[in-house]
Every structure is written in C-alpha cells, then in structure tokens.
Structure 1
Amino acid sequence: MKGNGKILYHYCSVETFFNIIKGANLWLSDIAKSNDYQECMVCREIVNERIKEYLKNDIKSMEAWENWYKNGVEVNSSIRTFCVCFSESEDQLSQWRGYAQDGKGIAIGFDKKILEELNLISEYHIAFGKVIYNKSEEYVKEIVDDNIQKFEYKGVGHVALELSQNYRMKFPFIKNPGFEEEREWRAVVCSQVGNYNIPSSDKILFSKIKYRTSNDKLIPYIEMNFEKIKQNIIKEILLGPKSEVEIEDVVNFLKFCGYYENVEGGYNSNSPISIKKSVTSYR
C-alpha cells in the first residue's frame, strides 16, 4: 500500500521497536551483511562496463583500466558502507513478512523531510535518498561521463584506482530490480573500519563503529541517535497484522520514553503520533 509521500516506514521486530524508541537510536548495519549480496556492486560494475566499452578500441588504456580498477576495489575494501532502510509503502504485506516477524512486528513512520537533512551533514560520509531499481541510465551516465572527462587530465589507471573511493556515496543507491517492490529509501554512512569519528549535526549524532551478533554473524554497525528531535521525527506507528502489542501499551510506552513531554492539548493514539493497527488481512 502506497504511503502519503511524507512518511517513510521502518519495518522491524517488536524487540527492535522497543530499542529504537527507548534509546532514540537507529542502527546502520554493514551493508555487506544484508540479504542482497550484490549491494553496492551493481552500480559500480555497470559503471565499470560502460567505461570499458568506451575504451574498447584502445588496448593499452583498457588494460590499465582493468588492472587499476581491481586494485581500487581491493584498496577500498576497508571502507565499509553502513545502511538503515525505509520503505515508501505503508502496510505492505511483503515488508511485514520479510522484516517484521512475519507480521508480528511494528512499522515506525519517520518524517522524510527530517531524514533528508542528513544530506547536509557531510557529503563524503553521509547520504540519504531513494533507491533506484530500473530507471538508472541517467544516474549511471553522470558517473561515467564524469570519469571520462577526467581522462583529459589524469591517467586512465589513476582514474580507475580512484573510482571506488570517489563514488562510494553513489553506489549504494542502485539495487537489483528484483527488490523493486520494497520501494526503498536509505540512510548511508561510509567509514573506515576502526575507531573513527563519524560527522554529526546538532540534531542527529552518529556513534563510532560498534559490533553485534545476528544469525551467527558478527555485524559492524553505527548508531544514529535522534534523541534531540525524537518528538518530531516519528509521525506514525503501525502494528503488524499479527501483532499482539496493544495500542494503549504503545501510547504509555511513548509517554514513559519522553515522546509526549510538553505536548500541548494532551495526547492519545491519534495525536501527536498516530498509532494504529494494520488493515492487511494476514494471519
């Protein structure tokens, strides 16, 4: 079900919902550990193939590109991409099944306009935007043309070596078309592995890289703390079609966690945060 365009939904388990609300934190996990093993590779490889097509009649340049492109990928392997995902779709059955305990979980509706402010923090480390599945030609062409222009004043090998680093904030926003129904938006942070500070703003704070376990894996992740704007950033909470959580309990939990402090005119399940049950007939 399509949303209103102003709210983006993060589908999650009840436990994750509890931790997000209590700590005013979203976790951005290492994208390489996601369920799509081609994450970040799709866009990069399309760009690679287009540039090779451009160089196909120059054997020497082609060899330089191929060798240094591979080196660039290897050199930048220590730079990890961290991501948290949202969906345009409100009350989407596939999202309930895949990301919210088969319908027992909860979807948190975040203010898209506030999330878009992430793009103002650091263009080299943080990005927020809509995932492209099929209509990627213009997006890819811009990257390809930019690199071809660099051949005028840089060696082909030099440009190839820098590709993975220079466009690391662009690559995560093209995804395999098989995931199109997710209608995804994502917040992305790129950081070197290690004890590095991530740029933050006066509204949203990023932690250093931390670690957790999930499905027998060690998962690096970064916390995105929205404590300072928690009364503004969350607009809606949707209980899954198989959820056993009561609306009244959510209202009381939000009060306990400070989401209703200094709210004029009182609060309830409709205002200032809309709390409702999924209408999807799934059991």
Structure 2
Amino acid sequence: MPLTYHYCSLETACAIISNASLRLCDITKSNDSAEITYGYAAAMDSLKRIGLISGSGPTLEFADHWIELLRPEYQTMLREALSRHLLPPNRLCYAVCLSERADQLSQWRAYGDDGRGVALGFDLSTFAQREPSFTVCSDDGHPLETHMMTLYRPIVYGRERSAERFDELAARMARNVHDLRAASAGTQDAVRARLLDATLEFIAATAFCKKRFFREEREWRLAIWGPNANTAGFETLQEGLAHALPRRFPDTVTHARFTVLPRTDRLVPTIDLGLDLGRTLRAVMIGPRCTASEQDIRMLLASAGVGVADVAHSRGTYR
C-alpha cells in the first residue's frame, strides 16, 4: 500500500507533528460543493439496476418492501439518506484528504501554501486492514452503537468507475436481502447485521467518489463516521467513539478528541486523531518555494520522536 501525502503549510505541519495528530473535518463543509451528491447519483443508479429501488425523492420505493427487514431506526435513516441525497441524518462523516503523489504542482498550489509548505507522507495501511463497521461500547462494556465505521481507501473518479464500485456494493446488499428472507429464526440477527453493514458501507461510499475533473489529485481519504447532535445520547456516543478508536487501532491511534471550530462563516465539527508518528510518519517532501532545510525538518521530527523518515526537496522549480 502506498504512502499517502498530506499537503499543508509549515504552520499546519508543525501543529500536526507537535500534537502528533491529524485533523478530520466534517466532509459536508469541504471545498467541493458537489461532494456527496455526486456519489449519490451513481449510487441510486446502481440500486435501480439491481432492482432494489425505483423512483427517487418523494417517489422513492423499495422493491418488495425489503427496507422493512431493517430495524425501524435504520429504515428511517436509509430512506432519508437515499431520498434526500445526504449523509445519514444521524451521522457525520469526518475525513482527512491525502494524495498518492508526493510532489504535485496542483496540490502545492491548492493545499501546500502555494509551494511554501510541505507534504507529510503517512503509512496509514492499518486503517485499511480492518472491516469498516465496529461496535462502540460504554466503559462497562455495554454496546452503545453497533455500526460505527472507519474507512481508508482511494477516491474513485468518474461515472464509469463509480458505477462499477456501486454495482459491486449493491450486489452485496441484494445477496443479503435474499439471504435474510431465507434465513431461519436462529440466523436472522446475524444476516440482518450483514445487511446493515452492507447498506451503511454503500452509503459511506458516496464520500469516496469525485468527478474526473479532480483525478490528477490521486486522492485517498481516511474517514470516520460518528454521531451528530440529532442522535439520541449524542454526547455519550461521541465519548464512546473517542475511547473506541485507540482500542480499535492500538498500534496507530493514541487518542481522539472532538471539537467544533470556526471557519469564516460556518462552524466545522472535527476530530483530532492522535497518531503514533514513529509508526505512521514515513516521509516529508519540502515544497518548491519552502526555504526550510532538510536539517530543519529533521530537527522538527526529532522533537516529536520521529527518527526514521525520508526527507527530500521538491524537484519542481515553481517560484
């Protein structure tokens, strides 16, 4: 699995390294206003092709009422998500964006302080090695929520590739619907859980599709789905998720802290995800307009206990 690079200013890089954390932000507050809605267009087409739904918006219908196989609260969530083309109404998707490319001019211009910043190269493969869905428990082990999610994967660009991805996920949902209808009383709960996992991953995939216009970014995303303020017991769930993430990724995640930050005319929910930088920060690319030396960068890394990382200058001559 490739290293993925987070382009940022020197100020942000110093904050990431000194705090040993990456900040994941509510994806609906991203720079691309078409995000999520673009993914849903492909998602809905796939569900129609495989025969799970018909219509859209207020005329949305589920074939043979299969949605009734889910628990009532998930029926409401799925119906609202698909009819309104939004993330589930009781979930927030927190995400951080990275790129496979360590030295890309467009990335420097857009995210790397116009070339004056750096690109931090992370090995986040641990996040791809676990199933997306997991259970959040209270301190005494009582399950609070059985289907929180983490995803780390590349963005799919363009209609054709998006269609392929959603056709695969829709087929998995259809198999689970069939299996649940045929399941005995003793196996229904397990099959229903698989159907819910497949359904939630299908919806989550809408955050991993973009127009071909953006394909040169070669973007990956690390995303965490958490509760929003509309969720019953929101504060308890949020605290449970913060405690669950280090347990789920014990060799990588050190802590998680939720906060809300101002950004011009809006408020942005965020997660500061603590990382073991000695394991995850593997490279630093110095931007083409950045005057920091390799020695400067190594001193910064050493201050955070990162002794083994490749440090190099951009090969660009952009001024």
Band of TM-score, shorter chain: 0.7 to 0.9
Sort the Cα spacing of 1:119 and 1:102 in 2 relative to 1 into closer, same or farther, 3 A. farther
1:83 aligns with 2:95: yes
1:148, distance to aligned residue in structure 2 (A): 4.1
1:223 aligns with 2:249: no
Q: What do the CA deviations read for 1:29-51 (whole angstroms, capped 9, x no partner)?
A: 10001111222332322221343
More divergent stretch after superposition (94-103 vs 250-259): 250-259
Sort the Cα spacing of 1:42 and 1:107 in 2 relative to 1 into closer, same or farther, 3 A. same
Alpha-carbon distance in structure 2 between the residues aligned to 1:187 and 1:275:
23
Code of the aligned partner of 1:34: S
Code of the aligned partner of 2:102: E
Query: Which residue is 2:311 aligned to?
Result: 275
Alpha-carbon distance in structure 2 between the residues aligned to 1:38 and 1:179:
12
Code of the aligned partner of 1:202: P
Code of the aligned partner of 2:298: V
1:71 aligns with 2:80: yes
Q: TM-score, normalised by structure 2?
A: 0.70
Alpha-carbon distance in structure 2 between the residues aligned to 1:112 and 1:63:
38
- RMSD, matched Cα: 3.1
User: Aligned residues, how many?
Assistant: 257
Q: TM-score, normalised by structure 1?
A: 0.78
Q: What do the CA deviations read for 1:203-248 (whole angstroms, capped 9, x no partner)?
A: 214524311122332111111111xx32121111111111132322
Query: Which residue is 2:113 aligned to?
Result: 101
1:15 aligns with 2:11: yes
Alpha-carbon distance in structure 2 between the residues aligned to 1:187 and 1:112:
8
Sort the Cα spacing of 1:205 and 1:104 in 2 relative to 1 into closer, same or farther, 3 A. same
More divergent stretch after superposition (140-149 vs 33-42): 140-149
Residue in structure 2 matching 1:202, options 211, 225, 250: 250
Code of the aligned partner of 1:82: Y
Alpha-carbon distance in structure 2 between the residues aligned to 1:54 and 1:255:
54
1:10, distance to aligned residue in structure 2 (A): 0.7
* Contact 1:51–1:148 under 8 Å retained in 2: no
* Contact 1:76–1:164 under 8 Å retained in 2: no
Q: What do the CA deviations read for 1:227-283 (whole angstroms, capped 9, x no partner)?
A: xx32121111111111132322222222222223xxxxxxxxxxx212221111101
Alignment of 1:21-100 (within 5 A): 21-52=17-48, 63-65=60-62, 71-73=80-82, 76-100=88-112
SS of equivalent to 2:13: helix
Which runs of 5 or more residues in structure 1 are unaligned?
155-161, 261-271
Alpha-carbon distance in structure 2 between the residues aligned to 1:248 and 1:57:
59
Alpha-carbon distance in structure 1 between the residues aligned to 2:201 and 2:312:
43
Residue in structure 1 matching 2:263, options 214, 227, 241: 214
Alpha-carbon distance in structure 2 between the residues aligned to 1:96 and 1:280:
10
